[in-house]
Amino acid sequence: MNFRYLRIAIFTLCMLFSINIFAVEGVPALIPQPVKFQRLPGSFKISKTTKLIAAPANKEIAELFAAMIKVPTGFTLSHASGGVSTIQLAMNKAYNKQIGEEGYTLDVKPAKITIQANKPAGLFYGMQTLMQLLPKEIESAEIIKNKVWSIPCVKITDYPRFGWRGLMLDVSRHYFPKEVVKKYINQLAKYKMNVFHWHLTDDQGWRIEIKSLPQLIEVGAWRAPRMGLWWKRDPQGANEVADYGGYYTQEDVKEIVKYAQQRFVTILPEIDVPGHSLAALAAYPNLSCTGGPFKVNVGNTFYGVDDNALCPGNEESFVFMEKVLGEVAALFPGQYIHIGGDECFKGFWKDCKKCKKRMKDENLKTPEELQSYFIRRMENIVKSKGKKMMGWDEILEGGLAPEATVMSWRGMKGGIEAAKMNHHVIMTPADNCYLDLYQGDPAAEPPTYSMLTLSSCYNFEPIPAEIPDPSLILGGQGNLWTESVPNYRHVEYMTWPRAFALAEVFWSQKENKGWDSFISRMEHNLERYDVANINYARSVYDATIKPLKDTVNKTLRIALATEIKKLDIYYTFDNTYPDNFSPKYTDTLTVPKGADHLRVLTYLDSKPMGKMITVSIKDLEKRTEE
């Protein structure tokens, strides 16, 4: 009798063990989360005998997949119509309305993998999912010997929620070589993003060759070298050499555009006008209201002090932009050109004779209407080049150009206003999408400003309730401004994993999202980044520190929290380093008498997870005053 119970107990334990293993294997760590996912028994193993099957029209996608796995596996997959182990890319014979233009189905069986789609883009995204189903070592830049390249058998149906899924990289504040620009495009494409917004011009550098205006790269692409905090730098001296910077030749641009097209990424070029134009004015000072001379800005304060805007009263400004936008339009095959339109200081316009005459001639009553006049002229030029115009939400001021698409960054208000006027909108509010902001406590992060946590990215909903027609919201994007991002490793640190969250926001269906699931899948993808030597932030594992001022008792209280709820927080006030034997945080803290520093550290299952954060009590008191 006891033996019978023992057998039952052993059987039960075995079943529980098998169920747990299946649960782990049954949910691959896919980002973004697919629409429909089914785990099936078994697995497919890629070997040197595996064959790729693709029609000639899709051969490039198949070859890209073969190239991606060749280095780590050592396999050179051949194209053939048969074999015992095959991966097939196939277009649907009948259009599948459910998956649309970018969707796909993926069917992994022990002897055959089939990716089907209506369009090549869908095959590409199915291929990216297939890559994520492979072991993390597939990201290695070196061959991995004696590795079983196993893919779990699954059945997936997937398609995006939004058509516009982007990341913006500012290359004006710091120039990044074309090789790393391509790397950035490759990474965003892996997570099914399809727009690379390229911020090419600003006060700190003009980065694109315009052959009819050679001074733009000869002068505007270079500034005096500086380090230190942005806006606190000394301006370029009279005899100082301007040798920090760089630019992309038109051949570079063509190479990058082709690279992006192969990954179904559209490049949105941005030429930021009429403000943010100091680099252009350094090259062509006659386009300003004041006449210069000008130096390319090094990161010193200038707004409202130095003239950095094209003169809308000067017809030469429009001749200049006709040349610029003509050459830009010829280089980029996408349907949009972004003309900026943001943060334009209009003070110099008020005293400019040409601007005053323009306002009188055009019956314009305010500087905002003068900017609107300029933007409408930009739209006419852009349209004459066969493109559509896009701008930041400031282009609403003074009246919106008739067919403009608005990129809403100062919250959702501008996007809502534009949509109510029946204009298309890209939602990219700073509170959810600005990747240059702090992603953890400022005491533990490189200097920047404001705050954007991973959860703020993930909780972003691009369609506000006030929108009358949701179809006017084309999608959204994350924006990485680089004032405080001087090198590419830091570009990666600021982008990932917050861009994982945005990729899921823009691709996945709302009902398929879940924070706890995302964190688990994110952790697996960060392991892939470790293999690939891609930098990323672990700030989500850090404690957040919020000082609270008790106005009644005139004391400082401190609230600690974590984005990941399963983490424990330990702290010290006595200038020692905390560990999991230190006091554990359970409720708001009172600062002990005489304490001058707080240190905090997070743990999970007795293992330290985040960075140790040290912050002075004086700094915490200052935060309550901000």
Distance of CA 401 to the CA centre of its chain: 27
**Average pLDDT rounded to a whole number, residues 135-150:** 96
Predicted pLDDT at 34: 98
Residue 81 has what pLDDT?
73
Query: Could you tell me which residues are beta bridge partners of residue 558?
Result: 547, 589
More confident residue, 507 or 25: 507
Q: Read off the pLDDT of each residue in 292-310 and give the average, rounded to a whole number.
A: 92
Three-class SS of 461-496:
CCCCCCCCCHHHEEEEEEEECCCCCCCHHHHHHHHC
pLDDT tens track for 185-207: 999 999 999 999 999 999 999 99
* Mean per-residue pLDDT, 328-348: 97
Residue ranges of domains in the chain, CATH in brackets: 2-158 (3.30.379.10), 166-509 (3.20.20.80), 542-625 (2.60.40)
pLDDT-based confidence at 554, cuts 50/70/90? confident
Has residue 15 got a pLDDT over 50? no
Q: What is the pLDDT of residue 317?
A: 98
Residues with catalytic function: 202, 276, 343
pLDDT for the residue 499: 98
Strand partners, 338: 270, 390
Q: Is the bond into 32 cis (omega within 30 degrees of 0)? A: yes
Rg of the chain taking only CA atoms, in angstroms: 27
Cα 584 to its chain centre, rounded Å, is 36
149-158 β-sheet, strand order: 36-46, 149-158, 104-108, 112-117, 86-91, 51-54, 78-79
Q: What is the pLDDT of residue 323?
A: 98
Check residue 7 and give its pLDDT: 41
Question: For 25-39, 515-529, 574-588, which range has the lowest pLDDT when averaged over its residues?
Answer: 25-39
With 80 as the cut, is the pLDDT of residue 21 above it?
no
Distance CA 271, CA 172 (A): 11
Give the H/E segment covering residue 7.
helix 2-26
pLDDT, residue 625, reads 77
With a cut of 80, say whether residue 22 has pLDDT above it: no
Place of tokens 């972003």: 460
What is the pLDDT at residue 17?
Answer: 35
Determine which of 80-94, 275-289, 412-426 has the lowest per-residue pLDDT on average.
80-94
Q: How far apart are CA 298 and CA 287, in angstroms?
A: 21
Q: What is the pLDDT of residues 580-605, one digit of tens each?
A: 999 999 999 999 999 999 999 999 99
Structure tokens at 457: 């990215």
Tokens representing 368 are: 């905002």
Does the CA dihedral 469-472-475-477 come out positive or negative? negative
- pLDDT of 8 > 50? The answer is no
Task: Look at residues 116, 105, 129 and name the one whose alpha carbon lies nearest to residue 54.
Answer: 116
pLDDT at residue 11 in the model: 36
Residues of the chain above pLDDT 70, percent: 96
Evaluate whether 297 touches 223 at the Cβ level (below 8 Å).
yes
Is the pLDDT confidence value at 1 over 70?
A: no
Question: pLDDT by residue (tens digit) across 346-398?
Answer: 999 999 999 999 999 999 999 999 999 999 999 999 999 999 999 999 999 99
- Give the containing element (helix H, strand E) for 114: strand 112-117
Confidence of residue 13 (pLDDT cuts 50, 70, 90): very low
CA-nearest of 38, 113, 40, 45 to 73 is 45
Weakest-pLDDT range from 10-24, 125-139, 267-281, 340-354: 10-24
Q: What is the mean pLDDT of the chain?
A: 94
pLDDT at position 494 over 70: yes
Q: What is the pLDDT of residue 16?
A: 35
